[in-house]
Structure 1
């Protein structure tokens, strides 16, 4: 849509704070996943004890308060990564990047809604009925399935696509490329069999966000010369 009364050469620039969004999202997501893991038992026979346990319900309430903000900052993280990559991304991997990232956020919110149902169908002031226990078992299974089977697989695709883009463009150092592929393998095959393995995804986000933030900060201090970030990434990748 054409505009009037403005400078035609002016373009929107990504705020520098966007690079910090991945760090915030990684921390919030890691804490939320850990709280969900501590709050939701893996065994169905623990239903009655969970309903009467105030601490576990408090863990879940805290996780539900953190998850929406983790998803919001994750979108900022995606934007920061795309800005760092620039216009050189491949359409195939760019589609995987966007699709898997958006699906991950959607599943994260569905997981939060399902986890909230565990609190809604129980009443700690009275003994749970058979119907409450049945609904609780359904919600428990749904939460664990979303966490260990579906959202983590989308996270693995997101890690693979992001790492491949960074590797082919030479903007990720070698250690970050190896870390990305190892994290993707863990999310694809180890989650569900290894306890708390989901936490490798927030750890990877922290690593990528820290790298992007450092390179962006150096680019800003040196005057924002075009292509400097890519050259630094290639130099770091070749030297490590």
Structure 2
């Protein structure tokens, strides 16, 4: 009975990790965008206020935990799929997820360099946003495509969520820096998948036998 119990636990682990990752990443993105607006030409010449510096530091503290929960989310999803996964798509799934985490950490490091100077660096700000919107979010799009494809083939993700996933992936793939705040699509999708997996976990939980 132990393998069956593990299968029942996996959707819950993936669901909780996906929701935690979504909340942490969304909070970090909102804090960073409010503290260091993108596309403001005079922002580089003004010193960051204490409140804005505090917001940047808080965002940077959230990013590592977001990465940890994302890796847990990704691992739990792979455990849910098991040996049934397509090797080609599974490789894209794993590679895009790891590259996403690496570029997200790189964007956070670039944003952290802004705090080292009294005057915010225009280069550091642009570099952070380039890593986030151009590279990190496009890897997130590939991850969404791969997850939606595997999940739909194996019946883990229903058709409506698969369609939402493909739409979210297209937004992240082609919107990029042209649409500020579009990166929030990724945590929104992760939260949806997490809630769905928790719902699956609740439905698949064995009911206690009636005692007469």
Tell me if both proteins adopt one fold, taking TM over 0.5 as the criterion.
yes
- Count of equivalent residues: 203
Q: Does 1:26 align with 2:22?
A: yes
Aligned equivalent of 1:201, options 164, 186, 190: 186
Measured in 1, the distance between the counterparts of 2:54 and 2:206 equals: 44
- Measure, in 1, the Cα distance between the counterparts of 2:198 and 2:163: 19
**Pair 1:139–1:174, CA change in 2 (3 A):** same
1:115 to 100, 111, 115: 111
**Alignment RMSD:** 2.0
Structure 2 Cα separation of the partners of residues 13 and 117 of structure 1: 43
Whether 1:100 and 2:105 are equivalent positions in the alignment is no
Q: Distance in 2 between matches of 1:97 and 1:86?
A: 13
1:11-58 CA distance string (max 9 Å, x none): 794755523111111110111111111122223421122x24222212
1:148 aligns with 2:143: no
Partner of 1:91: 87
Mapping of 1:27-42 within 5 angstroms? 27-42=23-38
Of 195, 202, 205 in structure 2, the residue corresponding to residue 210 of structure 1 is 195
For residues 187 and 156 of structure 1, the distance between their equivalents in structure 2, rounded to whole angstroms, comes to: 6
Could you tell me how far apart the structure 1 residues matched to 2:146 and 2:158 are?
Answer: 16
Which has the larger Rg?
1
1:199-224 CA-partner distances (Å, limit 9, x unpaired)? 0100000011111122123223359x
Structure 2: distance between partners of 1:71 and 1:114:
16
Quick one: structure 1 residues 86 and 220, their matched pair in 2 at CA, closer, same or farther if it must change by over 3 Å?
farther
Larger relative contact order (Cα-Cα within 8 Å, sequence gap ≥ 6)? 2
Paired residues of 1:81 and 1:212 also in contact (CA < 8 A): no
Q: What CA distance in whole angstroms lies between the structure 1 residues aligned with 2:200 and 2:97? A: 23
Partner in structure 2 of residue 48 of structure 1? 45
* Aligned match of 1:62: 58
Partner Cα distance (2:207, 2:176) in 1:
42
Q: Distance in 2 between matches of 1:152 and 1:110?
A: 13
C-alpha distance in 1, partners of 2:145/2:22? 17
Separation of aligned partners in 2, 1:94 and 1:105? 17
User: TM-score when scaled to structure 2?
Assistant: 0.88
